[in-house]
C-alpha cells in the first residue's frame, strides 16, 4: 500500500511539474513568436490575418488551413504566391493568433467570419480560394455564401463532407475527436513537448514557420478546437456542405496524394468525386506526398503553388483549365 501511495505521489508530482513547465514554455513561445499579421475584429473576437504580396489586379488568393492547423502551415506556398499576386492566410477562431470564437465551430460560421475580416481589411474579391484538409469544407461554404466574389478554387487533399460516414471505426468522427481531447490533455502536462509528436505534421516547413507550428502544436488549444470542429462537422458542417449548389464552370483544381496511412481506398474514392463539383476542373495526384507533406515539404508544396497559380491564370485569361498531362 505504501509503495502504491509513493507511486501515486510521484506521478502527481510529475504532472504538477509538467503543468508548470508547460505554462512557462507557452509564455516563452508567445514572446518568441508575435503575430506576423494583424488581428481584425469580426464581432466580439479577433481573427489573425496575414497578407503578403502586392495587389496586382485580380484575383487575390486566400489560403485556408486544416482542422487544427494555423496560417504558418502555408509557409512555402504563401511565400511563392506572394511573388505573383496578393495572398492571404489567416487563423480560424481559437487557432494560432486568433481569439477564441463561439460554438458551434461549423464551416459556415468560419466562412462568414473570414468574409467579415476581409471586408474590414478592405481586401475585396474576386478570390481564388485554396483549402487544405478540413479547410476545403470552409472554402466550399464561402463559395456558397458569396458566389459572386469567388473566381476559382483549389482543393488541397481536401476533406469530403461524408468521409467519416464511410469509415465506421470513426463513429462519425467521434473517435478522432476523442483522440484530440486526449492529445490536448497530454499537452497540458508538457508530454507533447517531451516526445515531439508533432514532427509528422510539419516536417519540411521553412525554419521559422516550423518553429511557430511546433510551438502551437505543443499546446492544447488547437487539439481542443479540432475536437470542437469535429463535433460541429457531425452536427452542422456535413449537412451545410452537402447542401451547397454546383460550382457550375468555376475553375476548380483538385490535388490528391498517394500515401495514406489508413483507409486509402475510401479516401481515394472520395477524392475522385471532388472534380465533379465543376465542369471546368482538373485533378492531379501527387506521387509520394502524404496529407501533411503536400504543403509542408518544398518538393510537394511547389506543386501546390503551381496549381494555385494555374487557377489564377485561368481566371485572368478566362481560359479553361488544362487537363493534366
Domain with residue 270: its CATH number is 3.40.50.1820
Between CA 281 and CA 93 the distance in angstroms is: 31
**128 domain-assigned:** yes
What are the start-end ranges of the E strands in 53-112?
A: 60-64, 87-91
The whole-angstrom separation of Cα 114 and Cα 175 is 29
Whether the predicted pLDDT of 17 surpasses 80: no
Where do runs of H (alpha helix) occur along 146-296?
A: 174-187, 191-195, 199-202, 207-217, 221-232, 238-242, 264-273, 293-296
Domain that holds residue 151: 33-317
pLDDT over 80 (residue 187): yes
What number is the average pLDDT over the span 184-190? 90
Kindly report the average pLDDT of the chain as a whole number. 92
What are the cell numbers at 300?
A: 510537394
The answer to the question of residue 177 being in a domain is yes
Is residue 198 predicted with pLDDT exceeding 80? Answer: no
Cis ω for the linkage preceding 23 (within 30 of 0): no
19-28, pLDDT tens digit by residue?
A: 787 789 889 9
Asked, for residue 99, whether it belongs to a domain, the answer is yes
pLDDT of residue 15: 65
Angstrom distance (rounded) from CA 12 to CA 1: 16
10 Å Cβ neighbour count for 28? Answer: 11
Residue 21 within a domain: no
> Percent of the chain at pLDDT above 70?
94
Q: Is the pLDDT of residue 325 over 50?
A: no
Let me know if residue 24 belongs to a domain.
no
Q: How far apart are CA 178 and CA 312, in angstroms?
A: 39
Does residue 27 fall inside a structural domain? no
Q: How far is CA 29 from CA 25, 202, 207, 219, 252, in A?
A: 6, 17, 15, 10, 38
Pick from 113, 67, 22: which is nearest to 227 by CA?
67
State the cell numbers at 63: 489560403
pLDDT in tens, 210-266: 999 999 999 999 999 999 999 999 999 999 999 999 999 999 999 999 998 778 788
Q: Evaluate whether residue 135 is within a structural domain.
A: yes
pLDDT on residue 216: 95
Contact predicate 40/117, CB 8 Å:
yes
Residue 91 CB burial class (10 angstroms; 0-12, 13-18, ≥19): buried
The pLDDT of residue 257 is 97
How far is the CA of 179 from the CAs of 121, 189, 226, in angstroms? 37, 16, 10
pLDDT of residue 324: 46
d(CA 215, CA 219): 7
For residue 249, the SS3 value is: coil
Backbone angles phi, psi at 321, to 5 degrees: -65, 135
**All 3 cell numbers of residue 181?**
481531447
Q: What is the dihedral of CA 154, 267, 95, 23, to 10 degrees?
A: -150
pLDDT at 160 over 70: yes
How many angstroms separate the CA atoms of 299 and 162, rounded?
30
Concatenated DSSP letters for 120-177? HTT--S-EEEEEETTHHHHHHHHHHH-GGGEEEEEEESPPPTTGGGG-GGGTTTHHHH
pLDDT surpasses 90 at 312: yes
- Give pTM, 2 decimals: 0.94
125 or 136, which is more confident? 136
Alpha-carbon gap, residue 153 to 308, rounded angstroms: 8
More confident residue, 4 or 22: 22
Give the count of domains, the chain. Answer: 1
The pLDDT value given to residue 169: 85
Model confidence at 320: pLDDT above 90: no
Does 293 reside within a domain? yes
- Tell whether the model's pLDDT for residue 57 goes beyond 70: yes
Amino acid at each position: 500500500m505504501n509503495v502504491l501511495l509513493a507511486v501515486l505521489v510521484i506521478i502527481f508530482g510529475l504532472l504538477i511539474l509538467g503543468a508548470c513547465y508547460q505554462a512557462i514554455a507557452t509564455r516563452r513561445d508567445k514572446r518568441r513568436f508575435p503575430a506576423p499579421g494583424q488581428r481584425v475584429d469580426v464581432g466580439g473576437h479577433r481573427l489573425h490575418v496575414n497578407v503578403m504580396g502586392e495587389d496586382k489586379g485580380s484575383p487575390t488568393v486566400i489560403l485556408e488551413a486544416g482542422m487544427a492547423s494555423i496560417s504558418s502551415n502555408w509557409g512555402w506556398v504563401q511565400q511563392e504566391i506572394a511573388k505573383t499576386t496578393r495572398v492571404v492566410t489567416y487563423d480560424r477562431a481559437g487557432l494560432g493568433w486568433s481569439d477564441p470564437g463561439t460554438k458551434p465551430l461549423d464551416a459556415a460560421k468560419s466562412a462568414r467570419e473570414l468574409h467579415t475580416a476581409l471586408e474590414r481589411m478592405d481586401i475585396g474579391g474576386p478570390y481564388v480560394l485554396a483549402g487544405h484538409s478540413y479547410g476545403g469544407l470552409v472554402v466550399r461554404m464561402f463559395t456558397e455564401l458569396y458566389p459572386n466574389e469567388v473566381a476559382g478554387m483549389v482543393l488541397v487533399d481536401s476533406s469530403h463532407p461524408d468521409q467519416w460516414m464511410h469509415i465506421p471505426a470513426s463513429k462519425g468522427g467521434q473517435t478522432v475527436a476523442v483522440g484530440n481531447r486526449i492529445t490536448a490533455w497530454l499537452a497540458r502536462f508538457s508530454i507533447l513537448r517531451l516526445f515531439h509528436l508533432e514532427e509528422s505534421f510539419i516536417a519540411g516547413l521553412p525554419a521559422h514557420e516550423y518553429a511557430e507550428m511546433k510551438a502551437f502544436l505543443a499546446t492544447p488549444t488547437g487539439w481542443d478546437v479540432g475536437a470542437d470542429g469535429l463535433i460541429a462537422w457531425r452536427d452542422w458542417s456535413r449537412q451545410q456542405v452537402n447542401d451547397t449548389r454546383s460550382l457550375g464552370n468555376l475553375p476548380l483544381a483538385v490535388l490528391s496524394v498517394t500515401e495514406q496511412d489508413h483507409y486509402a481506398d475510401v479516401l481515394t474514392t472520395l477524392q475522385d468525386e471532388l472534380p465533379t463539383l465543376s465542369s471546368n476542373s482538373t485533378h492531379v495526384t501527387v506521387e509520394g506526398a502524404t496529407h501533411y507533406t503536400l504543403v509542408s515539404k518544398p518538393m510537394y508544396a511547389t506543386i501546390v503553388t503551381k496549381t494555385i497559380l494555374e487557377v489564377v491564370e485561368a481566371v485572368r485569361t478566362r481560359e479553361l483549365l488544362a487537363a493534366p498531362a
